Amino acid sequence: MKNLVIFGAPGSGKGTQSDLLVAKYGFRHISTGDVLRAEIKQGTELGRTAQQFIDKGQLIPDELMIEILASVYDSLCPCEGVIFDGFPRTIPQAEALKKMLAERGHSVAAMIELYAPEDILMARLLNRGKEQGRSDDNEETINKRLAVYHTQTAPLIDWYKAEGLHHYVKSYGVLEEIFADVCKVIDSL
């Protein structure tokens, strides 16, 4: 079982690469953003709580996210592997994910960091906001999300390096080349 953390700043291509990996390898995919948007759309208590954090460009509390992810993960397994897209976003979340998986006799096989410069990220997110009508893809909120990424999420790069699981992939340029680089990482596991 190859559990993967697809990692990167907002707009780095995590969802795009995850969709391609699902199609090629048969992995299951947990996108915290998709899970939360579904809860918001359904008007659940979790969705209303999550919306308050999202509207401010803030992260969802760790305990809440781990509880949600454990439930979704259990519903997907057994399988070839699970892609965690948008989680973890902090070192405590990474530690909680490691613990949650260990309790099931599983682990993270690799963390794949997708990197793109901020001007490319901003352009991608603004375009996505126009195409998909996402309220969180406006310049003010994107700037907040990128600031949160740099202060709270980017330290995970060093954490996963220390775990021996970090892999770097440039996520701008030709989509097929980016995907080929991601596949090289997976095929080497």
- Residue 37 annotated as catalytic: no
- Residue 134 annotated as catalytic: yes
Which residue in the list 14, 37, 56, 161 is annotated as catalytic? 14
**d(Cα 15, Cα 186) in Å, to the nearest integer?**
16
Which residue in the list 98, 134, 144, 161 is annotated as catalytic? 134
Type of residue numbered 129: G
Residues 6+ apart with CB under 8 A from 179: 17, 20
- Residue 124 annotated as catalytic: no
- Residue 28 annotated as catalytic: no
| β-strand partners of 163 | none
Q: Is the peptide bond before 117 cis (omega within 30 degrees of 0)?
A: no
Which residue in the list 2, 128, 144, 161 is annotated as catalytic? 128
Which residue in the list 89, 99, 130, 144 is annotated as catalytic? 89
Name the one residue in this structure whose structure tokens are 């803030």. 58
Q: Which residues are catalytic?
A: 14, 89, 128, 134, 145
